[in-house]
A and B are shown apart, each in its own frame.
Chain A
Amino acid sequence: MKYFRLIWKNVFRKKTRTVLTTGSIVLVLVLIVVLVSLLNAMEADPSGGRGANRLVVQHATGLASFLPLSQRQRIEQIPGVVAVSPEIWFGGVYKDDRPENFFGQLSADPENFFDKIFDDATIDPAVNAEWKATRNGFVAGENLVKKFGWKKGDHIQLRGTYIPVTLDLVYIGKYNAGDESNVFFQNEYLNQSKWFGANRVTGIYYMKVASTQDLPRVAAAIDGMFENSDAPTKTMTEKQFQAQFMEMMGNIKGLIRWISLVILFAVTLIVANTVAMSARERVTEISVMRVLGFRRTHVLSFILSESVLMSLLGGIVGVVLAKFVIIPGMVKGMQTTPMAPFLINFRVTWQVLLAAFGISVGVGVLAGFVPAIRSSQVRIVDGLRQVV
């Protein structure tokens, strides 16, 4: 520690160089924080991990096929089933066709939806009660409400895409959960409108079972019950249900991981190059220090510390900038782009920031190693003789 001043001075000996190097660390860190947070937002667990004993029943052939509502009663009779809510993915158009106005629109059974099934979401009991009583009411995730600035009593129109009706819904209140990108409205309201499936079919059954141990048994019982019927089912845990969308996005996750690794490698090279350059320019100076009695290990630790210090600075600046300046600005700037639907659940968690900071230290160590060893191995006579 007593050499800290020396290291600090050396880091800032060439200010432009240090600023540029830290700058590239900052940029890369911000990018990685953005990418990872985006990935987290895309696969936001609707329950934040708490609703482990929920199941989703869909048609065995996939989401394009409807399930008859007559199945509900039979599912409810299976022991272990707590509550069942039929849901329809409305997929309507809000305002205009632009992708940034896209969000999840689901019908549900208000009687049990927040009370018994989606019970890890937080909703004001008064809001819930009012939603139950308002046939054309809707509730929405807080992030979504903020995005569109909905206020109590506001009307929104959703123009159906595959269901040929336009819904006129009135905003009741918000809910909070891991996934706050959806709007929920009453099945009853959709059923009142004249469409081919009214009171006849549903998209999925969203349901809760008593305990996690019941999941496989209940799922098997449902699928077995309808196996040879007109509408065979496929029952999944909520997590599996969500995962199928991620899987369809192709290998986005792997892709982002690879991109992150490659750019981290690139920035390590940039830092290594800088450290090596500054060490090379100081060969004579280092030799003089060795003559004065500093050991090889001293030289090694000086150079390595310089590299780590530079990365640390980059890490701190990067994390702070990412959290408070760049990312909020970017999220705001992208509200009107097709990226917007992915940003509804976008949060920069402290875990991600901490990991990014850790990574920056790692970059410093990796980048400093080779130049540090090389400088410490230079023989004093050679170093003194060298003219740069």
Chain B
Amino acid sequence: MAIPLKYNFRNLMVRKVSTGMTVFVISLVVTVFLFVLSLWSGVTRTLSTNASDRNVVTMRVGAQAEMQSVVTRDSADLIRSLPGIERDARGQPLVSPELLTLVNIPKTDGKNTNVQVRGTSPAGMALRPSIRIVEGQMFRPGTNEAIVSKVLPSRVAGVSIGDTLKSGSYRWKIVGYFDASGSAYDSEIWTDVADLQAQSKRPIYSIVYVRTTDAESARRYIEAVKGDQRLKLEGKTEKKYFEEQMVTGAPIKILAILVGVFTAIGASFGAMNTMYAQVAARIREIGTLRAIGFSRRSVLLSFVLEALLLCLIGGILGTALAFVLFNVIITKPTGTMNFRTFSEILFNFRLTPPLIAGGLAFSLAMGLVGGFFPAARAARLKITTALREI
């Protein structure tokens, strides 16, 4: 028969200070863990949001990022006649040749950052249906107008509607905000491709972005690009392209694991100390429990449960702390560098259900490690000696 959970709960309440401190330590550790983990999941989420496997990025063989690629105008024209590409109502293939560059501009805190500028066209907008203008208007070709992601002004200075963005010899007038719903495009500035070619004096494209009708035609198109000896290009679905960019978040993931493992072991040592003290202070009680018929296994289970309870409270508190941290204290998007492009990816800290589950599981793991050995000691006690203990 199991010892009622109420017994454990009350016992934890009796030693308020000791229990409170242990709970607090666990909660701090969980918060730190969630914080680092959400950095990684923020980057990953940004790079996987709305990435389609019908859209194909066509770039030079060997290029690791859009910006490193070069596609000539001739190649861009050739691509339009390849199979698999969807056509619009007027029978035109849905193709957007784009040019990318970086500008080094000041952030709102005065330090500089690299922002990716995408020269595109209305077709580029149509190819990415999840992106829409939320304020102001679309840029008009030939006017050096630009639109920026609506989250960009909170991070970068001088990119609000009406501002003229200057960088080197580049000049753009910001006329609108777009919303890319948290995807990688939310870190970018968009302008007309011909305008960008003129301003940067590069009469070329970086990539050609095409929309195919379905996954099968995407494969056909990618094969066709590969097979065309004139092009020397390769096609990747947008989804695959962004997956490859995720290596950028990998060091953060390792950092999260490192911090998680070390602090978890440290904190479970703390929990173990508390539980050993609990056992030592309750030896007579344990003897009594055994004497009235609870088995060794019940005692073991009871103390493990007590440790789990202790850590779970810490886990819940830690998750709550992280929630407050992400929703009240850090409200602006934060950024990290994409090592492939040297540009900044913006993302938000958010507590997703898998993260919450991860944090709680993490706290329970600490409870299990911290509780098992003290519980085993309690279970091994002999009734006679335990009862004799003062």
Residues of A within 8 A of B (CB): 14, 16-17, 20-21, 23-24, 27-28, 30-31, 34-35, 59-65, 91, 93, 97, 99, 102, 159-162, 164, 196, 230, 232, 234, 244-245, 247-252, 255, 259, 262-263, 265-267, 269-270, 272-274, 276-277, 281, 334, 337-339, 342, 388
Contact = CB atoms under 8 A, between A and B. Distances in A.
Contacts of B263: 27-28, 31, 263, 266
User: For A102, A161, A230, A244, which residue has the most chain B Cβ atoms within 10 angstroms?
Assistant: A161
Nearest to A19: B269
A63 B267 CA distance: 45
A245 B101 CA distance: 17
A31 B17 CA distance: 27
A226 B64 CA distance: 32
Given A93-B62, A272-B21, A65 B273 contact: no
Interface in B255-276: 255, 258-259, 262-263, 265-267, 269-270, 272-274, 276
Interface of B: 17-18, 21-22, 24-25, 28-29, 31-32, 35-36, 39, 60, 62-65, 67-70, 100-104, 107, 111-114, 167-170, 200-201, 247, 250-251, 254-255, 258-259, 262-263, 265-267, 269-270, 272-274, 276-277, 280-281, 334-337, 339, 342-344
A102 B339 CA distance: 10
A31 B262 contact: yes
A62 B167 contact: yes
A23 B273 CA distance: 11
B344 to A, nearest CB: 6
A91 B335 contact: no
B258 A230 contact: no
Contacts of A276: 17-18
A253 to B, nearest CB: 12
Given A230-B169, A249-B336, A273-B274, A31 B259 contact: yes
B270 A262 contact: no
- Sorted nearest first, the 7 A-B pairs with minimum C-beta distance are A60-B168, A162-B68, A338-B250, A62-B104, A64-B102, A61-B168, A270-B270
Nearest to A89: B342
Contacts of B272: 20
A210 B281 CA distance: 74
Identify which of A244, A248, A263, A267 gathers the most chain B CB atoms within 10 Å of its CB.
A248
10 contacts: A30-B262, A99-B247, A244-B112, A248-B337, A259-B35, A277-B18, A281-B281, A338-B250, A338-B251, A338-B254
A156 to B, nearest CB: 16
Nearest to B204: A196
B311 to A, nearest CB: 13
B266 A28 contact: yes
A162 B270 contact: no
A247 B18 contact: no
B21 A59 contact: no
Nearest to A97: B64
Contacts of A262: 28, 31-32
Given A162-B67, A276-B17, A337-B254, A248 B25 contact: no
